């Protein structure tokens, strides 16, 4: 079921004031803030025109953020925090000894500064605060809400930590948006591509490579799979140029300082090669005695071949993980995708022109700004398209260990749906509401989210009780399940977080499992249903024989018992058809008995009861 959220009557909106939304790319090295502008989105600069804010915070009594904090990164290492993003939502046991350096030994995880311990959330909140201040100053107004981007592979704890950082900075978070999705939105793909189209977002930064596979589903770009290499980035391309220079000069060793100097040179050469077909390298300082070198794009292409192939292999692997082979668009993100050799290799590999017209350092923030503008309420009425969806179906365990789906996967949030259930056994006074997530048919193949009991159901025959189970999911994906017995009004409810602990990768793999196992699951479901039906018939028959056995002659009773024991034996097998056939047979055989019982019960109900009492007689 879809609940479309549409704008209030559009005529009333004509004079509505435009709201201000901000898009924030909270990066490991640099962060940016952008906002919607005429016909697009713009990065907001500081007074000196700088676009990027280094994600660095210095704590020495006063807090400084960005370029000024970066300046103290070398002189005041202890009080300067860099790369806080890597620690968001992490605990001590997630980190290695190297990463634990400079952190306090107590919980929660914090950076040890003269200003006291600073948690990654606090550090990030300072960066967010500074970005918001920059925007407010530049725009001369306070924003109504922000969209903050996070890596697609961020788990729930990391996302939660990001939200906390924003709350600490007093920001109104409209949504956390996956970075690759933001990039695709910046290119307008959320509005232009066809349903089911697949987009690959190739993100090559300074130190990491990320590949994300998105798919258009019901007007929403969903992350199907993520992959990449956390130790492959622009720095490695610098390093191969360093190696080449040493090789050319016939040097095989160097000091750390020399290496750092050469790496800086190499980086400049690499970046120049993005503009010109060849770059001459003039050795200076300590290395001035060495020959000048000429590096051509052709040579660089050969040198970089292995690195590029590694990224493409990761692309294929991730596409495979997503269960896809066709890609409609490739979006390039990250400073290193400015290299023409990358663009050419990607174009050739996917056999299509990659989208790279937007500055690859800014594309994520720009996409977030467009999304923020719509979420803040400046949209044109298509808002429902931008709401989140349920990644995996939600349902309940029913009799026989089967799952009954209540909310289908991809239903748009927020939503509510109710379904009526009943008891499986005579006199049943309680039931367990077992909430499950997944696409498979059997309980053991789905993910258990929560379990609660509804007690106090008045004893009734099986199938007579009416239990209304309601699933409500709010815009943040919080699920509330309630069960209410309609006769007594007895109620029980529970709140669960369905996405908790499930990464997009896990969602993708659960989906793949459901596709791969669909046929098998269907058979299993049919078998279970056949067994449940057979069991309930047997159960009913035993009760009936006990109560009204005298209605049958000995031969009739013996014949029924033979049929019944045949079915009991069949139940031990996994032969759905056989169980069904014997169930039908027993059902037919007991028809006469059922009719006689019906007659008897009507007669007994009517005998000696005044007409006025009939309603309350049971």
SS3 of 378-408: the string is HCCCCHHHHCCECCCCEEEEECCCEEEEEEC
User: Given candidates 35, 336, 423, 590, which one binds ligand AMP under the rule CB under 6 A?
Assistant: 336
Q: How far is the CB of 442 from ligand AMP (least distance, A)?
A: 45
Q: How far is the CB of 263 from ligand AMP (least distance, A)?
A: 10
Tell me the HSE value of 175 on the side-chain side, using a 13 A CA sphere: 23
Q: How far is the CB of 320 from ligand AMP (least distance, A)?
A: 26
Cβ-based nearer residue to ligand AMP, 23 or 400: 23
Binning the chain into helix, strand and coil, the percentages to the nearest 5 are 45, 25, 30
Pair of tokens at residue 445: 């193949």
Cβ-based nearer residue to ligand AMP, 339 or 534: 339
User: Given candidates 147, 242, 339, 454, which one binds ligand AMP under the rule CB under 6 A?
Assistant: 339
Contact stretch for ligand AMP (CB under 6 A) within 97-105, 255-263, 265-273, 345-353: 265-273
Catalytic residue among 143, 155, 190, 203: 203
Q: How far is the CB of 274 from ligand AMP (least distance, A)?
A: 3
497 is catalytic: no
**Residue reference for tokens 């001369």:** 140
Judged by CB under 6 A, how many residues of this single chain contact ligand AMP?
A: 15
Cβ-based nearer residue to ligand AMP, 120 or 334: 334
Q: Name beta bridge partners: 199.
A: 214, 329
Contact 519, 441 (CB under 8 A): no
Calculate ∠ Cα 245-248-252, nearest 5°.
75
Is 151 a binding residue for ligand AMP by CB under 6 A? The answer is no
User: Given candidates 180, 205, 228, 354, which one binds ligand AMP under the rule CB under 6 A?
Assistant: 205
**Residue reference for tokens 């069991």:** 535
Contact stretch for ligand AMP (CB under 6 A) within 153-161, 268-276, 278-286, 550-558: 268-276
Contact 311, 336 (CB under 8 A): no
What sign does the dihedral 79-84-89-93 (CA atoms) show? negative
Residues in region 226-245 near ligand AMP by CB under 6 A = 234-235
User: Given candidates 54, 145, 334, 498, which one binds ligand AMP under the rule CB under 6 A?
Assistant: 334
CA–CA dist 301, 217 (Å, integer): 38
- Runs of H (alpha helix) within 52-155: 67-75, 97-100, 120-139
User: Given candidates 222, 267, 343, 349, which one binds ligand AMP under the rule CB under 6 A?
Assistant: 267
Give the residue from 194, 176, 80 showing the smallest Cα distance to 128: 176
Cβ-based nearer residue to ligand AMP, 235 or 404: 235
Is 212 a binding residue for ligand AMP by CB under 6 A? The answer is no
94 is catalytic: no
Is 206 a binding residue for ligand AMP by CB under 6 A? The answer is yes
CA–CA dist 465, 488 (Å, integer): 10
229 is catalytic: no
Is 434 a binding residue for ligand AMP by CB under 6 A? The answer is no
Q: How far is the CB of 235 from ligand AMP (least distance, A)?
A: 6
CA–CA dist 34, 147 (Å, integer): 10
CA–CA dist 487, 467 (Å, integer): 9
Is 359 a binding residue for ligand AMP by CB under 6 A? The answer is no
Is 335 a binding residue for ligand AMP by CB under 6 A? The answer is yes
Torsion, Cα 396 400 402 405, to 10 degrees, reads -40
Helix (H, G, I), strand (E, B) or coil at 525: helix
Q: How far is the CB of 166 from ligand AMP (least distance, A)?
A: 22
Contact stretch for ligand AMP (CB under 6 A) within 14-22, 90-98, 189-197, 335-343: 335-343
CA–CA dist 85, 154 (Å, integer): 11
Give the residue from 316, 23, 307, 390 showing the smallest Cα distance to 183: 23
Biggest alpha carbon–alpha carbon distance for the chain: 121
Cβ-based nearer residue to ligand AMP, 175 or 270: 270
Is 361 a binding residue for ligand AMP by CB under 6 A? The answer is yes
Q: CA-CA distances (angstroms) from residue 451 to 244, 367, 495, 496?
A: 62, 40, 10, 10
Helix (H, G, I), strand (E, B) or coil at 523: helix
Cβ-based nearer residue to ligand AMP, 336 or 423: 336
Contact stretch for ligand AMP (CB under 6 A) within 125-133, 180-188, 314-322, 332-340: 332-340
Q: How far is the CB of 205 from ligand AMP (least distance, A)?
A: 3
> Alpha carbon 67 to chain centroid distance?
33
User: Given candidates 71, 112, 271, 426, which one binds ligand AMP under the rule CB under 6 A?
Assistant: 271
Contact 110, 118 (CB under 8 A): yes
Q: Which residue's beta carbon is nearest to the bound ligand AMP?
A: 234
Pair of tokens at residue 525: 């479901």
Q: How far is the CB of 206 from ligand AMP (least distance, A)?
A: 4
Contact 43, 33 (CB under 8 A): yes
Q: How far is the CB of 230 from ligand AMP (least distance, A)?
A: 13
**Mask of contacts with ligand AMP, 1-30, x by CB under 6 A?**
----------------------------x-
- Across the beta sheet with 62-65, the strand order is 62-65, 56-60, 80-82
SS3 of 94-114: the string is HCCHHHHCCECCCCCCCEEEC
Cβ-based nearer residue to ligand AMP, 125 or 336: 336
Q: Name beta bridge partners: 201.
A: 212, 331
Catalytic residue among 36, 85, 270, 531: 85
Is 85 a binding residue for ligand AMP by CB under 6 A? The answer is no
Q: How far is the CB of 200 from ligand AMP (least distance, A)?
A: 17
Is 338 a binding residue for ligand AMP by CB under 6 A? The answer is yes
236 is catalytic: no
Cβ-based nearer residue to ligand AMP, 217 or 235: 235
Q: How far is the CB of 267 from ligand AMP (least distance, A)?
A: 5
Q: Site residues (CB under 6 A) for ligand AMP?
A: 29, 205-206, 234-235, 267, 270-271, 274, 334-336, 338-339, 361
The residues annotated with a catalytic role in the active site are 25, 85, 179, 203
């Amino acid at each position: 079921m879809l609940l479309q959220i549409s704008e209030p009557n559009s005529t009333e909106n004509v004079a509505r004031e435009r709201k201000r939304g901000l898009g924030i790319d909270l990066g490991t090295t640099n962060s940016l803030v952008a906002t919607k502008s005429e016909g697009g989105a713009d990065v907001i600069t500081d007074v000196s025109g700088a676009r990027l804010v280094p994600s660095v915070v210095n704590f020495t009594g006063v807090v400084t953020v960005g370029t000024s904090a970066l300046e103290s990164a070398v002189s005041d290492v202890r009080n300067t925090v860099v790369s806080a993003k890597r620690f968001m939502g992490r605990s001590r046991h997630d980190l290695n000894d190297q990463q634990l350096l400079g952190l306090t030994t107590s919980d929660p995880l914090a950076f040890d500064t003269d200003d006291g311990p600073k948690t990654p959330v606090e550090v990030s909140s300072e960066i967010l605060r500074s970005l918001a201040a920059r925007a407010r100053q530049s725009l001369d107004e306070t924003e109504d809400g922000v969209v903050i981007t996070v890596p697609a592979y961020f788990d729930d704890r990391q996302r939660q930590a990001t939200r906390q950082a924003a709350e600490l900075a007093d920001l109104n978070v409209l949504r956390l948006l996956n970075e690759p999705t933001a990039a695709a939105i910046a290119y307008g793909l959320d509005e232009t591509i066809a349903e089911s189209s697949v987009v690959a977002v190739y993100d090559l930064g300074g130190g990491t490579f990320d590949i994300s596979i998105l798919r258009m589903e019901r007007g929403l770009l969903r992350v199907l799979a993520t992959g990449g290499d956390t130790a492959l980035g622009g720095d490695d391309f610098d390093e191969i140029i360093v190696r080449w220079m040493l090789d050319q000069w016939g040097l095989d060793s160097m000091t750390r300082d020399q290496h750092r100097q050469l790496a800086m040179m190499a980086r400049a050469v690499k970046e120049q090669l993005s503009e010109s077909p060849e770059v001459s390298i003039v050795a200076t300082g300590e290395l001035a005695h060495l020959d000048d070198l000429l590096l051509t794009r052709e040579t660089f292409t050969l040198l970089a071949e292995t690195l590029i192939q590694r990224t493409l292999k990761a692309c294929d692997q991730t596409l495979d993980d997503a269960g896809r082979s066709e890609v409609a668009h490739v979006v390039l993100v990250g400073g290193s995708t400015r290299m023409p050799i990358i663009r050419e290799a990607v174009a050739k590999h996917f056999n299509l022109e990659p989208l790279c017209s937007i500055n690859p350092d800014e594309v994520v923030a720009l996409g977030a700004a467009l999304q923020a503008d719509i979420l803040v309420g400046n949209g044109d009425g298509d808002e429902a398209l931008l709401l989140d969806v349920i990644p995996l179906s939600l349902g309940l365990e029913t009799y026989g260990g089967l799952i009954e789906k209540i909310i289908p996967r991809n239903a748009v949030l927020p939503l509510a749906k109710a379904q009526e259930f009943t008891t499986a056994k005579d006199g049943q006074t309680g039931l367990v509401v077992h909430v499950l997530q997944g696409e498979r048919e059997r309980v053991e193949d789905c993910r258990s989210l929560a379990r609660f009991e509804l007690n106090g159901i008045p004893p009734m025959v099986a199938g007579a009780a009416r239990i209304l189970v309601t699933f409500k999911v709010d815009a943040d994906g919080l699920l509330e399940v309630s069960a209410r017995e309609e006769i007594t009004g007895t109620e029980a409810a529970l709140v669960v977080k369905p996405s908790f602990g499930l990464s997009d990768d896990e969602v993708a793999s659960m989906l793949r499992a459901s596709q791969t196992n669909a046929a098998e699951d269907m058979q299993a479901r049919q078998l279970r249903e056949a067994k449940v039906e057979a069991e309930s018939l047997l159960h009913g028959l035993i009760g009936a024989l006990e109560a009204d056995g005298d209605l049958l002659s000995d031969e009739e009773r013996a014949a029924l018992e033979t049929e019944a024991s045949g079915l009991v034996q069949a139940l031990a097998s996994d032969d759905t058809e056989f169980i069904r056939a014997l169930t039908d047979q027993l059902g037919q055989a007991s028809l006469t008995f059922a009719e006689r019982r019906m007659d008897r019960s009507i007669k007994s109900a009517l005998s000696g009861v005044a007409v006025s009492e009939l309603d309350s007689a049971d």
